[in-house]
A and B are shown apart, each in its own frame.
Chain A
């Protein structure tokens, strides 16, 4: 039992990362109606700019700023592709486009960053915050969860309490109508892409030192992040955050359960399936279809 608690706490580090990136994914989906598979890759690009500059001898703070700017540029670039050419496409087409872009970004990223050769990722916030159930909870891990909570609150407030949030919701749900009533659709969309670029870049800068430090592994963090977003049904920020943390915790716990640990990667998806079935329990077949 103790072992199970320990491994559950050990999974918090990963869970916080999944939750935070999941919240970013829901933010993008709710505001620009795109299931964005490139989000972690955008953040990774920004993080690698920080790493390369830092390796070249540039101090941490300016390197972080350059990394954030790179994240914004990458986000805006993807945003321009999506808004210029695929604004009128349906959700699945947009998702497919971002998958294609992800493959391209990963291929280029791997080439530019030396493939599997690791880099030195500076710890922005090094050290341990506390020890819980025999596990050191690092400052970075707690900060990741904290950022997730902060972003969730901010996103909720922005969307439900501000005029800009209202415009953004209009933009996401009825882009054409929003444009006709004078909402600056193009500007707002690009703004959202830029903000998520900066947030994911900063998130990845905190998450990356504890993860496999190569372009592909970091970019593929989008998979559990989107799984978390699925738990929140791409609507609820809080459910997404909790779902992400839960996936991390379950991953941690399954790593110590003999027999189950080989299927560690699959267990979160079973949870998602269970959540989806539970949420659909009241629906009749025709409605659910």
Chain B
């Protein structure tokens, strides 16, 4: 009898516990102490390059979500820290965000060196980083960082793949400028292209330095008989390269650039050229205002009066995927629960890119594997691939 009573007591306790738990389950969704979720970004704002467009777009997206009531009632408190392209400042900014501001994650940054400098810190502190635009190689090479862009290395493979597949390129040449320790990453990207297409690179040159004269390189690829050249110039370099090709009267070579080429300023500066100039883009081309995929981003940026650029797409997308993950958290939103949610999440379909984005528990992350390619046409960029060019798995 005594045993039966004990059993009933135990059953009752379990029942109460179950009820309590189910009560919590009924209140499903993220909760937050003080009504805010603190999030930060480390970005290069002052310094040689201004990437502030990226986190400002993230800010605009968060502001819009906050104005609509927040994430399950929690407002996102977003801090943008400037790393001034200085490693010490970048490290200090990350420590300040993590230790003093107590952010739950780093979202929407874009920096020349933040990933390389702060990757180890994020690992030690168990913080995850979702850059709006991953710039340096370390952004794609850390267990704690997963950018929402494909980045220069995957893009090198993708635009070369487009060349082989759509332009019937047989002699692909690569002229790559190496900054920092990116040579291995570019070599891997090109060797991935060889594996995917079964072709061999016709010529590779990794000696280009920024700002130097490009005439010898243009002559070199012309004399090597390349029928397409993939190169990683940023905006001014793209203009210089094509002007040099025009000055040297080069014909019959398709020029394959990465996403930094895809700006309206480059198109205008090269309005006079007849060279076949292509650029791979990270997200749905921003110069297509009627595209369905751009709808959400356009509305958000127009509401916040932010510029409509590829950079702002990155910042916006980082905010979107982060909020999607937040919504799936049941219970308090802390650094621990956010990290755990990102590590165990299912891939999220992203309208702005042909791939699904996922953080996951891999040792490195490069979730975006798709591109669209645009072609220069007398001062404007026109879409060369209406559907996404998705890299086949290796």
Query: Contacts A118-B239, A119-B265, A212-B236: A217 and B49 contacting too (C-beta < 8 A)?
Result: no
Query: Contacts A119-B269, A210-B247, A212-B237: A264 and B213 contacting too (C-beta < 8 A)?
Result: no
The reply to whether A118 and B236 form a contact with Cβ atoms under 8 Å apart is yes
Per-residue B-contact encoding for A113-155, CB less than 8 Å = 1, 0 else:
0111111110000001000001110100000000000000000
Tell me the nearest residue of chain B to A111, going by C-beta: B50
Query: Contacts A118-B239, A134-B223: A252 and B50 contacting too (C-beta < 8 A)?
Result: no
A186 interfacial contact with B, CB 8 Å: no
Chain A, range 231-268, C-beta contacts under 8 Å to B: 248, 251-252, 255-256, 261-262, 264-265
The reply to whether A262 and B206 form a contact with Cβ atoms under 8 Å apart is yes
Residue numbers in B under 8 Å from A265 (CB-CB): 209, 212
Per-residue A-contact encoding for B193-213, CB less than 8 Å = 1, 0 else:
000000000000111011111
The reply to whether A10 and B215 form a contact with Cβ atoms under 8 Å apart is yes
Residue numbers in A under 8 Å from B48 (CB-CB): 110, 216
Tell me the nearest residue of chain B to A116, going by C-beta: B235
The reply to whether A13 and B213 form a contact with Cβ atoms under 8 Å apart is yes
Per-residue A-contact encoding for B11-51, CB less than 8 Å = 1, 0 else:
00000000000000000000000000000000000001110
The reply to whether A114 and B210 form a contact with Cβ atoms under 8 Å apart is no
A220 to B48 CA separation, bound complex (whole angstroms): 13
A252 to B215 CA separation, bound complex (whole angstroms): 8
Query: Contacts A10-B219, A118-B239, A212-B240: A255 and B207 contacting too (C-beta < 8 A)?
Result: yes
The reply to whether B268 and A209 form a contact with Cβ atoms under 8 Å apart is no
A199 interfacial contact with B, CB 8 Å: no
The reply to whether A213 and B269 form a contact with Cβ atoms under 8 Å apart is yes
Residue numbers in B under 8 Å from A216 (CB-CB): 48, 211
Per-residue A-contact encoding for B262-274, CB less than 8 Å = 1, 0 else:
0101101101000
Output the least CB separation between A256 and chain B (Å).
6
Output the least CB separation between B152 and chain A (Å).
15
A21 to B205 CA separation, bound complex (whole angstroms): 29
The reply to whether A118 and B212 form a contact with Cβ atoms under 8 Å apart is no
Query: Contacts A14-B213, A120-B269, A255-B220: A210 and B235 contacting too (C-beta < 8 A)?
Result: no
The reply to whether B216 and A255 form a contact with Cβ atoms under 8 Å apart is yes
Per-residue A-contact encoding for B242-283, CB less than 8 Å = 1, 0 else:
011001110000000000000101101101000000000000
The reply to whether B243 and A135 form a contact with Cβ atoms under 8 Å apart is no
Residue numbers in A under 8 Å from B247 (CB-CB): 128, 136, 138, 210
Please pick, from A115, A128, A214, A251, the residue contacting B213 in the complex, using a CB distance under 8 A: A251
B89 interfacial contact with A, CB 8 Å: no
What's the tally of chain B residues with a CB closer than 8 Å to chain A? 35
Residue numbers in B under 8 Å from A138 (CB-CB): 247
Output the least CB separation between A54 and chain B (Å).
12
A234 to B128 CA separation, bound complex (whole angstroms): 55
Tell me the nearest residue of chain A to B244, going by C-beta: A210
A83 interfacial contact with B, CB 8 Å: no
A11 to B218 CA separation, bound complex (whole angstroms): 12
The reply to whether B212 and A10 form a contact with Cβ atoms under 8 Å apart is no
Residue numbers in B under 8 Å from A110 (CB-CB): 48
B217 interfacial contact with A, CB 8 Å: yes
The reply to whether A116 and B234 form a contact with Cβ atoms under 8 Å apart is yes
Interface centre among A119, A120, A220 (most CB of B within 10 A): A120
Residue numbers in A under 8 Å from B212 (CB-CB): 14, 251, 264-265
Interface centre among A17, A116, A209 (most CB of B within 10 A): A116
The reply to whether A3 and B223 form a contact with Cβ atoms under 8 Å apart is yes
Output the least CB separation between B314 and chain A (Å).
16
A209 to B213 CA separation, bound complex (whole angstroms): 11
Tell me the nearest residue of chain A to B211, going by C-beta: A217
Per-residue B-contact encoding for A199-212, CB less than 8 Å = 1, 0 else:
00000000001111
Tell me the nearest residue of chain A to B379, going by C-beta: A120
Residue numbers in B under 8 Å from A255 (CB-CB): 207, 216-217, 220
Residue numbers in A under 8 Å from B223 (CB-CB): 3, 6, 134
Residue numbers in B under 8 Å from A47 (CB-CB): none
Output the least CB separation between B52 and chain A (Å).
11
Per-residue B-contact encoding for A68-107, CB less than 8 Å = 1, 0 else:
0000000000000000000000000000000000000000
A7 interfacial contact with B, CB 8 Å: yes
Mind listing 29 A-B residue pairs with CB under 8 Å?
Answer: A6-B219, A11-B215, A13-B213, A14-B213, A17-B213, A114-B265, A115-B49, A115-B50, A116-B49, A117-B265, A119-B265, A128-B247, A134-B219, A135-B215, A135-B219, A210-B243, A210-B244, A210-B247, A211-B213, A211-B240, A212-B211, A212-B239, A213-B269, A216-B48, A217-B236, A252-B213, A261-B207, A262-B206, A262-B207
Known: A115-B49, A212-B211, A255-B217. 17 other contacts (CB 8 A): A7-B220, A10-B215, A13-B215, A116-B235, A119-B269, A120-B271, A135-B215, A136-B247, A209-B243, A210-B213, A210-B244, A213-B236, A214-B235, A214-B236, A217-B210, A256-B220, A265-B212
Question: What residues make up the interface of B, taking CB atoms closer than 8 Å to A?
Answer: 48-50, 205-207, 209-213, 215-217, 219-220, 223, 234-240, 243-244, 247-249, 263, 265-266, 268-269, 271
